[in-house]
């Protein structure tokens, strides 16, 4: 099994280790700041039936059909069986209108972070993973599909304490022996759901194909707690906490 994702958490572990060495009295301040990205364990996935009416859905389908092929990113074709388009202007504009609604569902004030369109093909699959807190909240909207394709979630988990614990927790989900409660939901076109991908393992098993041309077009709108756009990026931690050693952590400058 390949280890997948949770890059942010690994940098968080490295940062905690570094701070414990070079500025131990600052550790609780750092952990407190990062707790903005943890999720209340009482949170339950919110299913929004009929988020879009037929006309709005048709408009989105037309927007998608008009996206030039060369704007589509191919780098996830192999691993996920999908084409993706990040931050398409029409979807970014749509996301801006959703802030109050998503804040209400999330139970905290949020702001938009990024979004992407995901056009899954008959090879569609999404292995169990946790998202970076840039996607603390994901509003997942189904635009079109050949058949309902369930997404599975764990309950809200406390973040593992270190990398070993993280990997063990992930393996348990992959091997269907997780102590966390796992729940599956299937969207219909126009329906959406809000989950907290930074604190819920989530995955989609291979798309049901049945020899037909299977597909699933989904929009993912990611939101972060209001006011956290800077601190969510590990590359900003050295500056924001005035601990220059944090810049020496490998790959800290890459977007998480």
Burial of 69 (0-12, 13-18, 19+ CB in 10 A): exposed
Tell me if 197 contacts Fe ion by CB under 5 A: yes
Which of 130-138, 174-182, 209-217, 226-234 is the region at the interface with Fe ion (rule: CB under 5 A)? 130-138
The CB-of-22 to Fe ion minimum distance in angstroms stands at 33
Q: Which is nearer to Fe ion, 30 or 43 (CB)?
A: 43
Tell me if 133 contacts Fe ion by CB under 5 A: no
Tell me if 124 contacts Fe ion by CB under 5 A: no
136 vs 116: CA distance, rounded Å: 15
Tell me if 128 contacts Fe ion by CB under 5 A: no
188 vs 145: CA distance, rounded Å: 8
Q: What's the full length of the chain, in residues?
A: 256
Q: Find the radius of gyration of the CA atoms of the chain.
A: 19
206 vs 214: CA distance, rounded Å: 10
Q: Under rule CB under 5 A, how many of the chain's residues touch Fe ion?
A: 2
Which of 104-112, 160-168, 188-196, 197-205 is the region at the interface with Fe ion (rule: CB under 5 A)? 197-205
228 vs 134: CA distance, rounded Å: 9
Residue with tokens 């969207």: 187
Q: Which is nearer to Fe ion, 57 or 110 (CB)?
A: 110
Per-residue binding string, Fe ion, 81-120, x by CB under 5 A, is ----------------------------------------
The footprint of Fe ion (CB under 5 A) covers 131, 197
């Amino acid at each position: 099994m390949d280890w997948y994702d949770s890059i942010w958490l690994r940098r968080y572990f490295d940062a905690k280790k570094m701070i414990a060495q070079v500025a131990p009295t600052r550790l609780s301040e750092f952990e407190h700041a990062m707790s903005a990205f943890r999720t209340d364990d009482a949170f339950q996935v919110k299913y929004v039936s009929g988020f879009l009416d037929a006309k709005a859905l048709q408009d989105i389908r037309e927007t998608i059909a008009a996206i030039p092929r060369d704007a589509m990113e191919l780098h996830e074709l192999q691993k996920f069986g999908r084409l993706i388009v990040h931050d398409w202007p029409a979807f970014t504009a749509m996301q801006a209108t959703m802030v109050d609604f998503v804040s209400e569902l999330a139970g905290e004030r949020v702001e938009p972070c990024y979004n992407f369109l995901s056009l899954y093909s008959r090879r569609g699959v999404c292995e169990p993973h946790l998202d970076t807190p840039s996607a603390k909240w994901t509003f997942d909207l189904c635009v079109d599909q050949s058949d309902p394709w369930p997404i599975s979630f764990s309950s809200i988990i406390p973040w593992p304490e270190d990398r070993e614990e993280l990997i063990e927790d992930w393996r348990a989900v992959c091997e269907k022996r997780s102590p966390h409660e796992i729940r599956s939901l299937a969207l219909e076109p126009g329906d959406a759901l809000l989950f907290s991908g930074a604190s819920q393992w989530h995955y989609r098993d291979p798309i049901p194909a049945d020899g037909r041309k299977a597909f699933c077009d989904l929009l993912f709108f990611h939101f972060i707690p209001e006011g956290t756009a800077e601190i969510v990026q590990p590359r900003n931690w050295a500056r924001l906490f005035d601990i220059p050693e944090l810049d020496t952590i490998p790959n800290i400058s890459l977007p998480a």
